[in-house]
Chain A
Amino acid sequence: MFRLIWGQLRGRAGRSVALLAGVLVATTGFVVLTGATTTSRLEVTGTVERETRAAYDILVRPQGARTPLEAARGLVRPNYLSGRYGGITTDQVDQVAAVAGVDVAAPIAMVGYSTTPIDMPVDLTDTIDRRLDRQVIRVDRTFFAERGLSHAPADPFYLYVTKHRLLHPTFDDSYHPDAVRYTDGRTYDTQECGLVPREVLPDGRNAAVCDPGAAQDPVLYTLTERQTWRVQTFRLLPDGRFERSTPGGGPGSPQVTVEDRLVLHLRLNVPFLLAAVDPEAEQRLVGLSDAVVDGRPLAGDDRASDNRYQGGLRSRTLPVLTTSRPFLDGTLRAGYTRIVPGRSIAGVRPEDLAGTLRRAPALAVGGSTQDAVSAYRKQLATGLDGRTCCFGELQRVLQPGETGYDERPDGALRARATTIDPSVYADAELATWFARPWLTEDTSFRPVSVVKMPPSLQDARQWKAVGVFDPQKLAGFADLGRVPLETYEPPQAEGADDRSRAALGGRPLEPSGNPAGYLSAPPLLLTNLTSAQALLAGTGPQATAPISAIRVRVADVDGYSERSAERVRLIAEQINRVTGLDVDITLGSSPAPQTVELPAGAFGRPELRLTENWSALGVASAITKAADRKSVALFVLVLVVCVLFLGNAVSAAVRDRRPELAVLACLGWPARRIGALILGDVALLGLVAGLLAVGLAFPLGAALGIDVDWRRALLAVPVALLLALVAGLAPALRAARAHPAAALRPPVATARWVHRPRTLPGLALVNLVRNPGRTLLGAGALAIGVAALTLVTAAAYAFRGAIVGSLLGDTVSLNVRGADTMAAVATVLLGAAAVADVLYLNIRDRASELATLRAVGWTDAALGRLIGYEGIILGLLGAVSGAALGLGGAAWLVGDLPRSLVLVAAAVALAGVLVTSLAALVPAALLRRLPTARLLAEE
């Protein structure tokens, strides 16, 4: 029998090769493409109890950015973005933005904290006794934070008010500290006491009133603001006004200023977190530009401005939007004491001043208290170009990390105190203009690192506000149903027990002035990404991947629903697949109050038990590797179409062999043996095709970038065999059951439905109706491909990358990957090939009829048109029914029939008809080779 099978295959070599090619293409395609089905799948679990929505639906962070608590309990700390610095490149942001279905991809790059002074002027005019010849007003500062629980005294400031004449330093282009010209025309050495006024003493001599601040300036970066102290000198003029030195205003500016009020500018130094955003994306996400209340919005093309000064000093100024609300709990209390020294303090060394004054009569003359928020607002009110507003240094940028926790038996979390490396504040190369906040000496809960920027002595760095934004005007801020995942939301923690509540005075704990403190303020300074990159240039990995997170809002998601969640999940999955970054679904997240124990601070704050407003991610998500079942289904469709295609071909081959099979039956062959003969034919073809597919799978996989291992490649053999056997089964059974006399039946039946064809299309229709099984098989194969392509295209275009809908009560989704599109297109092409094969078989079966038509005068063009019409009708039948099937499926899934979906279906149907028409050209071309005379003679 093998010899008979082999003889058959050799005898019909052309047909055998065609069948072999069909099995080979389908099997190789299946084996290789299924290599692309193992993909990253975002598994989500859990249910959502509240309908909440943050400004964004997906949070994209660098790989491994999840904290252990997040991973284990799905809990996210408030303001968790503040502790993340870089890890995402701008290219990855572009990749995320390009994912279909992404409405907004807003990157945020946390740069770090820098010290910003808040000016706290105190008016001491009324504290002086105008009768006195000389007097000193001592200002004793005490810093308070954390609802007053943390407090610390600071070194005092002194105001020396004398009625005696003062000599003031003048300042011109050249500055030599050892020879500064004073208003008396003489030069004095200012190295010991600084650019301070000199008091003319009764004996005619004069002496400098030393300011210890001059000596502190070079080491300010090592000091906290508690350690700074100043002596400022004023002359009380006979008209009651106050004269003071104002050197350094530049050439031409007055060296002496006379004012009505005696004002001392105290400062509270606070850490401000600088972050970089894409202003356009931020506007779309939260309406950043609309929240600007002074100045102008930040623009994407704002650039850091560089200046170069004499002596090689360079400065770089970043344009920023500064906050109108610093979200800081800080207070500075000042107590005033009037001291009447026995003699002038001019000439007294700073370290001796306190001792000198100790014995002098002293009288408390009042005090003042200023809080950081009010003072900052007053500072803003002076206008963006004011003396103190709005700028700050970026000399030393600190990056606090995440807080560590220990879990208590009762479920509470205990924040872990940590020790800050003192070198962070001791780097002489990162010299600062302001002393560091006093709370940097408090207990720390975050590790702190410092950005390795170039030495600040030569490269000064600062920010200058171009505008002020009000966080409360940002979309989503302080909504009742808000989720504390918002980027600009200030963290707050309420007392969790009576003792803590009492300690806090019933108010919440807010961020203090410690960058390494437990609660950290949200970004208060915003610049654009270009400027941030200019600042971070040369600082290592963060310079190349500056972005900390991307907040993604998904299009067509409005509130939480199962469908929205599935849509968001799909987009998140695609983002992970494209970028490899960690993704978290924030849609459906809800507040999850968490009890936290905060160990006592170093400045008096007792241990507190707090309730903090954490977020529970709506759904736990994890990326798992799994086969994409939808892709597998698509690839199986390729095989199904191939089975239809092959089935048709094998049926035709069996029909051709009917006389021969009839002879075998007459010779006494049993039916099963005849069936086995047919199956043997196709099985041998399948086996050869499978073996060839094994060899083809590796190079094809390599060319397409799909990993095909040897086990997958070997799968080609059983797949091809099975494919061939399934395709050959029905024809084999028919052949086995056929009566020998059946061989006498004409190969093509007459039409059962008599139609009067008046045109070529009409005759084409009649021809197709004559063999309805074959026609339906071809059209069906095409319909399957077109339906799959309609669904895939609908998902890609009409539904922005993913169809999400309900099926039997479950939310299901269909998103599109490259391999899916490839499979759908392959199915359509195979469908078109099946149609072409139907036409070819029709031509073969009706060859004598076509020869007759040619003999009676039909031109080749007319015959070609006839076959072309048959192809178009088949194409229309398959494409329209397939598109309708796909359209119906998609509409059923989404429960709607949007216009875009209909357009997509129409476009795919049209494409299907076009492809089929093109495929029909191949059999139509064979018409020219019809042996007309032989066919007419044979009959």
Chain B
Amino acid sequence: MDATRGSTVRAAGLVRQFRTGVERLTAIDDVTLDVAAGSVVALTGPSGSGKSTLLHMIGAIEQADRGTITVDDVEVTALRRAALARYRQRVGFVFQRYHLLPALTVLDNVVAPVLPRRGHGDHAARARELLDAVGLAGRERALPAQLSGGQQQRVAIARALMGAPRLLLADEPTGNLDSTTGGQILDLLLDLRGRHGMTILLATHERAIAARCDRLVRLGDGRIVEDLDLTEGEDPADTFDRAARLRL
């Protein structure tokens, strides 16, 4: 991967099915998607439309039943377990419920992804930088339970950035936050994109959040039902108009 730019993502013919009792539910149904390096793509759609599943598949948390995912020049769907783990180390993942380790301090949570590796001193220094970048300088020794939802999500973002990812996947990053805090988190993500040039895919059902992205991909019943480029001829600041136009 190019360290100065975000990753390109190409999903082709992706299918993912789940068995629920005797029925078979198709969560992702023949999805093909190309994401340009450095873009911020919002995946939208109603609950159960396949947003999270698609993100999980791109993040190699979920396996595809069919189809391929290629990130930069790496075909993720062809990787074996150990290579998948190495791939995940280079992808940042932010969850709706943060998924911080409650027993660890903020700093240790950020360091957690690289804990099995050597060089703790360097890791801690970098973690402090990241915490500083997400606005949590001075809270390193706090436990997750002592933080607000927004702060916890900032910690989660810092943790996702620990591996210097060129692809950041965020699953409803603002879903558990109030709109103001959600807006701040998105500001943070866009700011980081600006600084690090990473590609960001985020699943959201919030119009205001999706409207600030470069591209909007709407899913319905596991299929892409709409794919809009939001950067052409628009004033990026006019989010309300865009949101209205997008019928979000």
| A, B bound | yes
Q: Which residues of A contact B (CB under 8 A)?
A: 746, 748, 750-751, 754, 756-760, 763, 766-767, 770, 848-849, 851-862, 865, 932-933, 936-937, 939
A859 B112 Cβ-Cβ under 8 A: no
Report the nearest B residue to A746, measured CB to CB. B102
Instruction: Determine, out of B91-99, B179-187, B215-223, B234-242, the stretch whose residues face the partner at the interface.
Output: B91-99
Chain B neighbourhood of A862, CB < 8 A: 85, 116
Contact B82 A853 (CB under 8 A): no
Contact pick for A855, options B88, B102, B103, B105, CB 8 Å: B88
List chain B positions with a Cβ less than 8 A from chain A: 52-53, 56, 59, 61-62, 81-82, 85-86, 88-91, 93, 95, 97, 99, 101-105, 107-108, 112-116, 120, 141, 143, 145, 159-160, 162-163, 171
Supplied contacts A848-B99, A851-B99, 9 more A-B pairs, CB within 8 Å: A750-B143, A756-B105, A852-B95, A856-B159, A856-B160, A857-B89, A933-B56, A936-B61, A936-B95
Q: Are B62 and A933 in contact (CB under 8 A)?
A: yes
Query: Which of A751, A760, A851 meets B116, CB within 8 Å?
Result: A760
**26 residue pairs from A and B, CB less than 8 Å apart:** A756-B105, A757-B115, A759-B120, A760-B115, A760-B116, A767-B103, A770-B103, A852-B99, A854-B61, A855-B88, A855-B93, A855-B95, A856-B88, A856-B89, A856-B159, A856-B163, A857-B114, A857-B163, A858-B85, A859-B81, A932-B62, A933-B53, A933-B61, A933-B62, A936-B61, A937-B52
**Cα(A754)–Cα(B104), bound, Å:** 8
Q: B103 near A857 (CB under 8 angstroms)? A: no
Q: Residue A750 contacts which of B90, B103, B120 (CB distance < 8 angstroms)?
A: B103
Report yes or no: A859 in contact with B145, Cβ–Cβ below 8 A: no
Provide the bound-state CA to CA distance between A759 and B93, in Å.
Answer: 23
Of A854, A858, A939, most B-chain CB atoms within 10 Å: A858
Contacts of A933 in B (CB 8 A): 53, 56, 61-62
CB of A766 within 8 A of CB of B116, answer: no
Q: Give bound CA distance, A746 to B102, whole Å.
A: 10
Name B146's closest neighbour in chain A (CB-CB).
Answer: A750
Determine if B116 and A860 form an interchain contact, defined as CB atoms under 8 angstroms apart: no
Q: Decide: B99 and A936 in contact? CB cutoff 8 A.
A: yes
- Residue in B61, B103, B116, B171 whose beta carbon sits within 8 Å of that of A858 in the complex: B116
Minimum distance in angstroms from B1 CB to a CB of chain A: 14
Q: Which residues of A contact B62 (CB under 8 A)?
A: 932-933
Q: Would you call the interface of chain A mostly helix, strand, loop, or mixed?
A: helix
Partner of A859, one of B82, B91, B93, B108: B82
Which residues of the partner chain B approach A860 to less than 8 Å between Cβ atoms? 81-82, 85
A279 to B: closest C-beta gap in Å: 68
Taking CB as reference atom, which chain B residue is nearest A752? Answer: B103
Q: What's the nearest-Cβ distance from chain A to residue B176, in Å?
A: 10
| Chain B positions within 8 Å of A760 at CB level | 115-116
- Give Cα A756 to B109, complex, Å: 10
Most buried by B among A746, A750, A933: A933
Query: How many whole Å from B244's CB to the nearest CB in chain A?
Result: 31
Partner of B61, one of A746, A748, A766, A855: A855
What's the nearest-Cβ distance from chain A to residue B83, in Å? 10
* Residues of chain A within 8 A of B159, CB atoms compared: 856
Assess the A757–B104 pair: CB atoms within 8 A: yes
**Chain A: minimal CB distance from B26 (Å):** 16
Nearest neighbor of B145 in chain A, beta-carbon distance: A750
Contact B115 A854 (CB under 8 A): no
> What is the CB-to-nearest-CB distance from B79 to chain A, in angstroms, rounded to a whole number?
12
- Distance of A763 Cα from B120 Cα, bound (Å): 13
Measured CA separation A856–B87 after assembly (Å): 10
Query: Given the complex, which residues of B lie within 8 Å of A852, measured CB to CB?
Result: 95, 99, 101
CB < 8 Å neighbour of A766 from B90, B104, B141, B163: B104
Residue of A766, A857, A859 contacting most chain B CB atoms (<10 Å) = A857
B102:A854 contact, CB within 8 angstroms: no
Write out the residue numbers on chain A whose beta carbons fall within 8 Å of the beta carbon of B99: 848-849, 851-852, 855, 936, 939
**Nearest CB of chain B from residue A931's CB, rounded to whole Å:** 10
Contacting pair A855 B116 (CB below 8 A): no
Do A859 and B85 form a contact, CB below 8 Å, given A849-B101, A932-B61? yes
A366 to B36, CA, bound (A): 144
Distance in angstroms between the alpha carbons of A855 and B101 in the assembled complex: 13
Nearest CB on A from B206, distance (A): 18
Q: Which residues of A contact B105 (CB under 8 A)?
A: 754, 756
Given A758-B120, A856-B93, A936-B61, A766 contacting B85 (CB threshold 8 A): no
Given contact pairs A756-B108, A855-B88, A857-B89, A750 touches B102 in the complex (Cβ within 8 A): yes
Q: Residue of B at shortest CB range from A756?
A: B108
Contact partner, B88, options A857, A861, A936, Cβ 8 Å: A857
With both beta carbons as reference points, the residue of chain A lying nearest to B90 in the complex is identified as A857
Of all chain A residues, which has the CB nearest B83? A859
Cβ of A750: which chain B residues have Cβ within 8 Å of it? Answer: 102-103, 143, 145
List chain A residues, Cβ under 8 A from B145: 750
What's the minimum C-beta distance from B28 to chain A, rounded to whole angstroms?
12
Do B112 and A856 touch across chains, with their CB atoms under 8 A apart?
A: yes
